[in-house]
């Protein structure tokens, strides 16, 4: 942990090598977070690039170096939501059904697709809270700090999202029977 704080201090002083080292430690987690939001490899890479740019430009505004990861994830979520908002303004012409190349070796694909479909049923706030809680293993307090919302609001969003997911799962289970 001390190493990260030292690297943040160096990056704040303009050491771009320290910043690159820091960013690369979290790049894979950031990519997965972005992908859950944007559902597209190229868009997720664009989000990571924008996250890197914004975080590099704003590194001096980071008050507590020990919260670098939390700060970086917040920037990634903001960039993902910004990209989604931009895409809503554009009308896409797509085929109704997208083909997925699934090899016979990928046994976890149906589960991952169903989890992805479940998360897509949530609104932006609910998705953010669920991802931070169960993917990044943040506490409710950390989530509210990342999203800059009151603690009570964070709890409400979490419980509402869980209720919504349970309801969808129950409906899917009944439908399959």
Structural domain contains residue 51? yes
pLDDT tier for residue 1 given thresholds of 50, 70 and 90:
low
pLDDT of the residue at 154:
92
pLDDT digits (tens, 9 = 90+) for 54-71: 999 999 988 888 889 999
12 and 65 together in one domain: yes
88 and 13 together in one domain: yes
51 and 126 together in one domain: no
Domain final residue, candidates 42, 63, 92: 92
pLDDT of the residue at 158:
93
pLDDT of the residue at 95:
40
Whole-angstrom Cα distance, residue 75 to residue 78? 5
For residue 62, give Cα distances in angstroms to 4, 37, 54, 142: 13, 24, 12, 16
Structural domain contains residue 84? yes
Residue in this structure with the two tokens 């942990």, named with its chain if needed: 1
With 0.75 as the threshold, say if the pTM is over it: no
pLDDT of the residue at 174:
56
Report the chain's mean pLDDT, rounded to a whole number: 81
Domain final residue, candidates 92, 120, 137: 92
pLDDT of the residue at 26:
92
What is the number of alpha carbons within 13 Å of residue 163 lying toward its C-beta? 6
Asked if 164 and 123 count as a contact pair (C-beta separation under 8 A), the reply is no
pLDDT digits (tens, 9 = 90+) for 99-147: 443 343 444 334 444 677 778 888 888 988 988 888 888 899 989 988 8
27 and 72 together in one domain: yes
In which domain, by residue range, is 87 found?
1-92
Structural domain contains residue 97? no
19 and 78 together in one domain: yes
């Amino acid at each position: 942990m001390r190493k990260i704080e030292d690297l943040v201090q160096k990056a704040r002083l303009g050491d771009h090598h320290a910043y690159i080292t820091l960013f690369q430690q979290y790049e894979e987690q950031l990519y997965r977070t972005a992908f859950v939001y944007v559902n597209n490899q190229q868009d997720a890479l664009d989000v990571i690039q924008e996250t890197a740019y914004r975080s590099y430009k704003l590194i001096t505004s980071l008050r507590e170096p020990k919260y670098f990861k939390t700060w970086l994830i917040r920037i990634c979520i903001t960039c993902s939501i910004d990209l989604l908002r931009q895409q809503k303004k554009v009308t896409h012409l797509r085929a109704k059904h997208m083909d997925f190349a699934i090899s016979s070796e990928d046994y976890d694909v149906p589960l991952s697709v169903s989890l992805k479909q479940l998360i897509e049923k949530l609104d932006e706030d609910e998705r953010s809270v669920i991802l931070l809680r169960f993917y990044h293993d943040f506490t409710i307090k950390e989530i509210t700090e990342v999203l800059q919302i009151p603690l009570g609001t964070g709890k409400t969003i979490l419980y509402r999202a869980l209720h919504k997911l349970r309801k969808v799962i129950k409906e899917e289970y009944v439908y399959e029977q």
